[in-house]
Amino acid sequence: MSQYVFQQLINGLSLGSLYALVAIGFSMIYGIVRLINFAHGDLVMIGAFSTLGFVAMGVPWPLILVFVLMIGALAGMTIEATIFRPMRGAQQVTGFIATLAVSIVIQNVGLMTLSGQPRNFSFPAFMRQRVQLGSVSASVTDLSIIGLTLLLIALLLVVVYRTRLGTAMRATADNLMAARLMGIAVNRTILFAFAIGSGLAAVAGLMWGGKFGQIDPLLGFAPGLKAFIACVIGGVGSIGGAMLGGYLLGLAEVLFVGLLPPAFSGYRDVFVFTMLIIILLLKPSGLFVRHVEERA
């Protein structure tokens, strides 16, 4: 494999990792409360700026990772408990509009307090080195993003499929009323889903900053939207679908640009959205979901 193709592949996988991390949380939240959460991308921004803050304070990187995860989780839980929970009984569109409002509030508070000026963001020097793998090489940053993402996803799957709380969360997503009748405190499992999803998004923010080198208070918009698309591609509400959708989207974006003549590179989003439309026409419930259960 030529270095060029390999580089594109690694690029696609690392971008896909970011999309997958954000998409998984998006999907978990939709799965449990049927809420299209457009504020989810802004947790990426919160994660990126928290990282910057911790770096300025001289916190070591492994601790920063843990702290950012916790800050994301706390932010997500706060939003859920104060804004989304009181709207639970309302129509779906009410919740949807509320998430847009939350997103605008977060972005504007960010602009006011942090200024709209992009800030430089850099990982430690060794992260910017390249590793030689036979005839090809890849950056430590990209490899770390891919590796850490896979590790986090593995941990998530263990929590969701092997623990009592994870099972209760799936039960709540499956049938809220039955979950309540079994004595599951559903507000707690919903809070838990928000904590996990938002924590993952914040970690994606840390990675986002390291990968692109600059952050600003509006950076959450793109990953939020892409996560939504990844979920739709994969099948909304399924963790595996969101993950695969994220990787597919990341790879598609990078490969469209990288493997086609440079004249087409400006059409990147056109290709991506055309792909989305075609997938939705052929498989409306997403690529990786066998059936969709309608729920009132």
Q: What is the contact surface with another protein in residues (CB under 8 A)?
A: 164, 167-168, 170-171, 173-175, 177-185, 293
Closest approach, Cβ 182 to another protein, in A, equals: 5
- The CA-CA-CA angle for residues 36, 39, 42, to 5°, reads 140
Distance CA 179, CA 169 (A): 9
Nearer to another protein, 107 or 238 (CB): 238
Closest approach, Cβ 31 to another protein, in A, equals: 10
Closest approach, Cβ 188 to another protein, in A, equals: 9
Nearer to another protein, 143 or 159 (CB): 159
Distance CA 212, CA 282 (A): 34
Distance CA 35, CA 12 (A): 29
Closest approach, Cβ 270 to another protein, in A, equals: 36
Closest approach, Cβ 177 to another protein, in A, equals: 6
Closest approach, Cβ 258 to another protein, in A, equals: 38
